[in-house]
């Protein structure tokens, strides 16, 4: 028995030494819904942003424009975001020049306008198309799932924590309207 013991100790020592060089496998991340499995450039610097980072949050996705009669809705969107972000809401802005050519500027010009005019802090993405024959991949899926295409700037889609589209709201519906806030409150109270 005395002769066998050193072999076990040697094997254990070798095993412990080898384990120092083995990295633990990364923890499995929660699965991302197909709706959020897209990457878009951030408005401010065009750094790629994967929407999966918002999985588990209630999302209000909005197509925006700087020179529209509804542009003042930035103020309501920012108020909504500030009020509910700590409870799990995120507003995602997608500038688009699809309607009335009301977003003609560059990404830098749009970012400066949003910051300087409305102090927008919610995530904004680079200008893209949200309607017509070639909408960006998120809006293409939003349109398919709701059967409704944005009719103008500041069209809104509400998405639950599981990445399912819950509702769509016209440009006429203000972000702080009870029809939107009541649904947000309900969705924020639901478990994933």
Please state, in angstroms and rounded to a whole number, the distance separating the CA atoms of residues 154 and 180: 13
DSSP letters spanning 120-174: --S-BB-----STTS--HHHHHHHHHHS----STT-EEEE-TTS-EEEEE-TTS-
Which among 90, 72, 94 is positioned nearest to 82, based on CA atoms? 90
55 burial type by CB count under 10 A (0-12 exposed, 13-18 middle, 19+ buried): buried
Please state, in angstroms and rounded to a whole number, the distance separating the CA atoms of residues 181 and 192.
19
Contact yes or no for 158/62 (Cβ under 8 A)? no
What is the distance between the alpha carbons of residues 103 and 86, in angstroms, rounded to a whole number? 30
Query: Which helix (H) or strand (E) is 91 found in, with range?
Result: strand 89-95
Terminal CA-CA length for the chain? 57
Catalytic residues, by residue number, are 68
Residue 70 main-chain phi, psi, to 5 deg: -100, 5
């Amino acid at each position: 028995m005395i002769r066998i013991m050193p072999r076990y100790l040697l094997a254990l020592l070798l095993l412990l030494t080898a384990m120092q060089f083995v990295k633990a496998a990364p923890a499995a991340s929660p699965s991302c819904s197909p709706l959020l499995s897209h990457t878009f450039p951030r408005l401010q610097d065009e750094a790629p942003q994967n929407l999966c980072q918002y999985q588990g949050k209630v999302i209000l996705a909005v197509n925006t424009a700087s020179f529209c009669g509804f542009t003042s809705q930035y103020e309501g969107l920012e108020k909504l975001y500030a009020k509910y972000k700590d409870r799990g809401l995120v507003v995602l802005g997608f500038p688009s020049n699809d309607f009335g050519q009301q977003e003609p500027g560059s990404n830098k010009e749009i970012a400066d306008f949003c910051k300087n005019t409305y102090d927008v802090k919610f995530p904004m993405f680079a200008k893209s198309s949200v309607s017509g024959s070639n909408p960006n991949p998120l809006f293409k899926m939003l349109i398919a799932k709701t059967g409704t295409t944005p009719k103008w700037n500041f069209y809104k889609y509400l998405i639950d924590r599981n990445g399912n589209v819950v509702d769509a709201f016209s440009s006429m519906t203000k972000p702080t309207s009870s029809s939107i806030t009541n649904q947000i409150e309900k969705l924020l109270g639901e478990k994933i």
